Amino acid sequence: MASKKVLGLTAATAALVLGLTACGSEGGEGGGGEASGDAFTFGILYPQTGSLSFLGPPQITAAEYAISEINAAGGILGTEVPAIVQGDEAGDAAQANEAANSLVGDGVNAVIGAAASGMTQATYDTITGAGVVQCSGSNTAPDLTNIEDNGLYFRTAPSDLLSGPVMARKIVEDGHQSVAIVARADDYGSGYAGGLQGELEALGAEVVLSETYDPEATTFNSIVTGVNNEEPDAIALISFEEGAQVISQLLESGAEGNQLYITDGLNNPELGNSVNSEEPEIVTGITGVAPGADNAAFNEALTEFDPELEAFQFGPQVFDCVTTIALAAEAAGSTDPADYAAEMSNVSSPEGTECSTFSECRDLLAEGEEIDYQGQSGNIDFDENGDPTSATFQVFHFGEDGYETLGFEEYSVNE
């Protein structure tokens, strides 16, 4: 598959871009803070319903918070950013693509999302094929690295090829040497399992079982039987919401909480109620790894912005998508994705002057400086495929007093 960083648009795509900008928002010439005409409009494709709906509130709140910070600093290219246009991915490919078509039809200048990697697989051609930049704060599937997107797809969440090794190190650090891997039979599951198994074996641990399951299944007896037959020290479960039932069956069959390791798809403080509403403490001992940020100040600010917010998963990454896009538009002096997409990597390049807020970075651009935006989720430093080259991971745990964070781990592709 061809590299996705093909920044020159085809003639057909360029024509479509011109058509869209003629009826939507359009940019002008200039750079570093010069006004360029119409307002920059963001669309967001996130799970309002479906199995990942618990990820919805922090994503929309983080996007709206980023826009409020941009507007407080004067907007993008001197024009206030209007309310974000919303679309529901719903965990359903057809509905997600319908929502993506609606966002494109509304003439948005960028789309934030989708939240789930599978929903991005279902929508990126609609979005980037229309010449619109797409940036997800939560896509982790390795297969998204090489999609043919004309250089318009970016993500601030790390690939599972980074996440898997962090979980492997935690499992071995906890003293486990034989591991069973259970994963969803999709891009997310296979990508994560591959990275996990490779690192476990490199660390000297033995993977005694690696099995996938149909996420639409209603019972997981064969998986549980297979795990029990191998008697592993630890069990790594790569799943979304359906994983609560897998956990329930594993625990009922004799597995213990401190043997179980889970991923970001189950990073939910209310997991115990999903596993067993009558005995939620049954999840005590379970440990997980998820992309996260050691940034209490950001979480506090997000809570102040929305006092009803109870979860923060991928909030910093979504905030960084919005802010990086805004800075790219400032650097290009244009709201047109055909102009500003090439600046996405430049505004986060380690070659520039470090800055950490939209206003600070925007002012440096206005002075003619190159910048290195330091995100709320950490360094971004996009590679040629629009992937971050380093990331911070939260190690979360269900202890005697409930959900807690054990710490944060840094991982880089250059390690």
Q: Are residues 24 and 153 in the same domain?
A: yes
Residue type for position 95: Q
Q: Are residues 165 and 269 in the same domain?
A: yes
Greater confidence (415 vs 234) lies with 234
Q: Are residues 104 and 170 in the same domain?
A: no
Q: Note the pLDDT tens digit of each residue in 49-76.
A: 987 888 899 999 999 999 999 999 999 9
Q: Are residues 129 and 201 in the same domain?
A: no
Flag whether 215 is in a domain. yes
Flag whether 100 is in a domain. yes
Flag whether 112 is in a domain. yes
Q: Are residues 346 and 396 in the same domain?
A: no
pTM of the prediction? 0.79
Closest CA to 88 of 67, 116, 110: 116
Flag whether 396 is in a domain. yes
Flag whether 400 is in a domain. yes
Please state the domain count of the chain: 2
Half-sphere exposure (CA, 13 Å, Cβ side) for 336?
Answer: 22
Geometric angle at alpha carbon 241, from 235 and 245, rounded to 5°:
60
Q: Are residues 166 and 151 in the same domain?
A: no
| Contact indicator for 77, 113 with CB cutoff of 8 Å | no
Q: Are residues 23 and 139 in the same domain?
A: yes
Is the pLDDT at 17 greater than 80, yes or no?
no
- Domain housing 329: 11-157+314-382
Residue type for position 252: E
Q: Note the pLDDT tens digit of each residue in 324-361.
A: 999 999 999 999 999 999 999 999 999 999 999 999 99
Is the pLDDT at 217 greater than 60, yes or no?
yes
Q: Note the pLDDT tens digit of each residue in 245-284.
A: 999 999 999 999 999 999 998 998 999 999 999 999 999 9
Q: Are residues 225 and 325 in the same domain?
A: no
Q: Note the pLDDT tens digit of each residue in 173-193.
A: 999 999 999 999 988 898 899
Q: Are residues 152 and 168 in the same domain?
A: no
Q: Are residues 399 and 273 in the same domain?
A: yes
Flag whether 340 is in a domain. yes
Q: Are residues 145 and 172 in the same domain?
A: no
Flag whether 304 is in a domain. no
The pLDDT value given to residue 385: 94
Give how far the C-alpha of residue 266 lies from the chain's centroid of Cα atoms, to the nearest Å.
Answer: 14
3-state secondary structure the chain: CCCCCCCCCCHHHHHHHHHHHHHCCCCCCCCCCCCCCCCCCEEEEECCCCCCHHHHHHHHHHHHHHHHHHHHCCCECCECCCCCEEEECCCCHHHHHHHHHHHHHCCCCEEEECCCHHHHHHHHHHHHCCCCEEEECCCCCHHHHHCCCCCCEEECCCCHHHHHHHHHHHHHHCCCCEEEEEEECCHHHHHHHHHHHHHHHHCCCEEEEEEEECCCCCCCHHHHHHHHHHCCCEEEEECCCCHHHHHHHHHHCCCCHHHEEECHHHCCCCHHHHHCCCCHHHHCCCEEEEECCCCHHHHHHHHHHCCCCCCCCCHHHHHHHHHHHHHHHHHHCCCCHHHHCCHHHHCECCCCEEECCHHHHHHHHHCCCCEEEEECCEECCECCCCCECEEEEEEEEEECCEEEEEEEEEEECCC
Flag whether 278 is in a domain. yes
Residue 113: left (phi > 0), alpha (psi -120 to 50), or beta? Answer: left
The domain that contains 182 carries what CATH number? Answer: 3.40.50.2300
Q: Are residues 367 and 398 in the same domain?
A: no
